[in-house]
Every structure is written in C-alpha cells, then in structure tokens.
Amino acid sequence: MIGRLNHVAIAVPDLEAAAAQYRDTLGATVRPPQDEPDHGVTVVFIELPNTKIELLTPLGDASPIAGFLAKNPAGGIHHICYEVEDILAARDRLQASGARVLGSGEPKIGAHGKPVLFLHPKDFNGTLIELEQI
C-alpha cells in the first residue's frame, strides 16, 4: 500500500540556521521558507536526489511541534512521510486493522498541496507517520 518515501521531517529550533547548514555545509538544494498556518509550522524543503527533508519550526502559539521541541531542544526527527495512491482507502484499511489516525480522521491539505493524514506513533514503533496522496 505505501509507496515511496516522500520526506523525512526534522523539527528545528532555528529554521534559518538549519536551512543555512543544509545549503552551505551539506551543499543541498534548499527551498525558501513557507508558512503553513493550518499546521502551525513554517517549513523549508531540502531537495535530495531521491527524497526530501522537511525542516519544521513552530508557527503561532498552538503549534503541534512546540511540545516536541520542548522535549528535544536541539531538534530531532519528527515524522516520516510515505506516499499512497488513495488516502481514503489507506485510512480505511489502517483503521480496520486497529491503527489510530490522528485528528478528525479526515485528510488535510499538506505542505505540497496534497491530502495528508498522520498515524499515531504508538501504533508504529514510536514513529509519527504521515501519509500523502500522490
């Protein structure tokens, strides 16, 4: 059911410093920051030949990653995103198997303009999983 790895998301306390490190030290292609108010984050995408890295920092007071950064002040891997062809079919199959979908269970539009869902990390080896319909 899952396809390619779409991105790995890393929460960072200083987005500008992290983006500069990927650009200047690691020599990667770094896109400009995008505010995602619906998700409470500002993101910078790093484009690699085979996948993307998504640097995340909190946007607004109720950011869902504020707690993560409080526990991990230096930053850390926040989630991984797998591609699916049909997000509603994927959700129904996961829920039928007992996996928990976060939020209302209805897909939201993610940072790439495509529908996304998140799965409870306790159901997947301590890893927050994002599914994105491609």
- Which residues make up the interface to Co ion (CB under 5 A)? 9, 54, 81, 130
To Co ion, the closest distance from the beta carbon of 110 in angstroms equals 6
Return the number of the residue (79 or 94) whose C-beta is nearest Co ion. 79
- Residues 33, 27 contacting (CB under 8 angstroms): no
Could you report how far apart the first and last alpha carbons of the chain are, in Å?
12
As measured in angstroms, the least distance from the Cβ of 106 to Co ion is: 17
Residue closer to Co ion (CB basis): 3 or 24: 3
What tokens appear for 44 in the block?
Answer: 């910078």
**Neighbouring C-beta atoms of residue 108, cutoff 10 Å:** 13
- The catalytically annotated residue of 36, 85, 106, 130 is 130
Nearer to Co ion, 115 or 130 (CB): 130
Active site residue 54: no
- Closest distance to Co ion from the beta carbon of 38 (Å): 13
- In eight-state DSSP terms, residue 101 is B
Closest alpha carbon to 30 in 19, 14, 18: 19
Catalytic residues: 130
